[in-house]
Structure formats: structure tokens, C-alpha cells
Structure 1
């Protein structure tokens, strides 16, 4: 899917999405633990890449992280700024980040890559690698399943990615994966999270 198609799909349901999934109280306790533990050793700027309505950005900000958020959907950015005025949010594309080479120490890409097919991911991951400093940390959350299999996500078409596939794509983009989590919660699609370091 094109970014414009994804943007339009989320624009039409941004308020509904925020109401259902825009609060940290709605997030899984294991995700809270994983994301806070991932960010804790990072000293320096972190980008929440695809921040949605900003709940994870604010969560890490309140835990002391130097973090900002970007999202493709203007409605999400406006909502995040209203809800969390102490945090910086901007409209932006993962395909062309307005960030200097090697200037970040961390990137959180929590379910923000799910609308990209396996063929589209290499250029996205290369862009994330470009803006991360050597030894910078990346955390990716996604739906675990058969690599490249599409499904009807609540908002618009999304893709499953296997751990092996995502790990290989990250290695090819210049990352070393150092931690893998998979989980199957009742009533939810299988979850995976990969932590990686920029070589």
C-alpha cells in the first residue's frame, strides 16, 4: 500500500482509534515492561516512529527519555500535541525522515511497520538505520505470522511478518538483533518484538 492510502484510511478513523487504543491503560503490561526496559539504557534522542496518538511517546517521556514522535496522520499529531503538550510531535514519513544521519540513539517502531509489505520494508529499515548512530537501539513490534501474508486490519490492509524474515531484513539493513519476544494472547493476533543495535 502507498503511504497516502494508509494516511487516508487512518484519517477517517483517527478519533475511533484514539478512543480505543490511545491510552497506556489499554496497553499490555508486558509491552509496558518491554518498552520501558528497552529505553532505560538509552542516553540521547529517541524517535517514536509512527507514534499514532502519542501514548507511547508520552509514556517514555514520563520515564525520563529524551523522545519525540512523528506520524503520517495529521489528526494523530494534532491529538498528541493536545494530550501531551510537554512532548514534541510532528508530521513525518518513515520513508524520508527529516532527521540528520546518525543523530538518534533510539527508535521505537511499535506496530508502525505493519502496513509495509516485505518488498517495501528494506528501504524503510535502511532509512531507520541512516538516522541511528552506531550502537543506537531499535525496537520493532509487529504481528507474528507467515512472512508477507496480508490480512484485513481494523483500519486498512496490514501484513504478518515472521521473526526469521524480520531478523534477516534487519541484518541486511545494518542491525544486529539481540532480543526476540513472541506472544499469543487470547483473542489477539500473534505478537512479536525484536530489539536490535545499529552496527
Structure 2
């Protein structure tokens, strides 16, 4: 997956910016997340890609930094936002102390993870969140259907029922705070979009 995103980094950055920046429901989710974690400590944008959401979180008053497994994405992020911190790293094994984060944004960052690997990601999120810390996860949502693989322009991706993701979070010790849905907009894959808010007690 790292090599796949390295190859398309610049095209990906051009594609996602107008979609994500232009949707008011997505902006509402990010604002709600910011209101939940502001002033509580650092916030990690995991799978930050070209860094525009990291920059948006900073504009909302958060001490945000970005992590991505793709060196090419991190290079683009550092070029676009030289005043912010970006690191190459894996969500499966974060180079962060226990209970060190006030918040985690993972915006379509786990969509390529095979279902068997996702519990490990949630365990790492729970490990690095401080008590009271909040995770906001954005994903493709499969409704009442089971986890559904589909062809993605980069590599195989998965649409998840939010109920199953919430259950994985609960198994890792994270409690659901709320959820949001929206339909696809022009230019997006025609799948429902889900947003899940989880908190570490």
C-alpha cells in the first residue's frame, strides 16, 4: 500500500482537496471533533496524506500533527504546510507514548486495512489516547450489509457497517459518542459515507 500511494501522491492530493474542503457536513464533523478535544493536548491526523486536514485542524485551534505511511505524501504535506509537524509512520505501531493524545482523526485512513487487521489499529488508537480523548473515524459505510471489499483507484478498500466499527472500538475500550452519515457527492464513489466518534473513558 505504501508504494501504491507514493506513486499517486500528487494526483491524490489534487483529487481529494476540493471534495473534502467543499462539503459542509464533513466540515461540521471536523468542527465537532475540534470542539471535543480543543485545549486538551496534541491531536494526531493519522493517514494524513498531503496534510490539508492537518492544517484545517490547526486552523480550528488544535495542536495537530500528521502521520502517514507514505513518504511521498509526507513530502507533499511538509512542502504545503512547512509550519506543521509531519512524520512517516504506521497506524499499526505509532511512535508515541501511551495516553499522549487528546484526539485522533483517521479520515478514510483504515479503509484499506483487511478486516482481520483492524482490531490491532483500534488497540493502538486506544493505547495512545489519553483518558477522555476522542477518535473521529471517517469511512465508506455499508449500511446493513457486511464488510464489503471494492475496487479502489489505489488498492482494495472496504466499506464497513458503523455498528461493526463501533463494536471493534468497544472491544478496544473506546465508547461511542455519536455518529453521522452522508450520501456521496459528485466526484466521489457512490457509497454512503460514515463518521464515527469514539471516546476513551
In the alignment, the residues of structure 2 paired with residue 25 and residue 102 of structure 1 have an alpha-carbon distance, to the nearest angstrom, of: 29
CA displacement at 1:186 relative to structure 2: 4.7
The question of 1:136 aligning with 2:133 is answered yes
Change (3 A) 1:69 1:119: same
Q: Structure 2 unaligned runs (5+)?
A: none
What does residue range 9-158 of structure 1 map to in structure 2 within 5 Å?
Answer: 9-22=4-17, 26-42=21-37, 43-145=40-142, 146-158=145-157
Further displaced range: 124-133 or 140-149: 140-149
**Alignment partner of 1:64: what SS?**
coil
User: Do the aligned partners of residues 169 and 67 (structure 1) sit closer, same or farther apart at CA in structure 2, a change above 3 Å counting?
Assistant: same
- Give the Cα separation in 1 of the matches to 2:22 and 2:147: 25
TM-score (norm 2): 0.92
Please tell me whether the aligned partners of residues 104 and 136 of structure 1 are also in contact (alpha carbons under 8 angstroms): yes
Residue matched to 1:189: 191
Which whole-Å CA distance do the structure 1 matches of 2:20 and 2:131 have between them? 34
Unaligned runs of 5+ in 1: 1-5
Alpha carbon RMSD of aligned pairs, Å?
A: 1.4
Contact map agreement 1:22 1:53 (CA 8 A) in 2: no
How far did 1:196 drift? 0.7
Alignment match, 1:3 = none
How many aligned residue pairs are there? 194
Q: Relative to 1, partners in 2 of residues 1:143 and 1:128: Cα closer, same or farther, differing over 3 Å?
A: same
The answer to whether the 8 Å contact 2:34/2:61 transfers is: no
Q: What is the CA–CA distance in structure 1 between the aligned matches of 2:21 and 2:64, rounded to whole Å?
A: 21
Relative to the length of structure 1, the TM-score reads 0.93
Question: Structure 1: which 4+ aligned runs deviate by more than 6 Å?
Answer: none
How big is the shift at 1:148? 2.4
Q: Retained in 2: the 8 A contact 1:23–1:55? A: no
Distance across 2 between alignment mates of 1:41 and 1:190: 25
> Distance between the aligned counterparts of 1:73 and 1:27, measured in 2?
25
Cα distance in 2 between the residues matched to 1:147 and 1:113 = 16
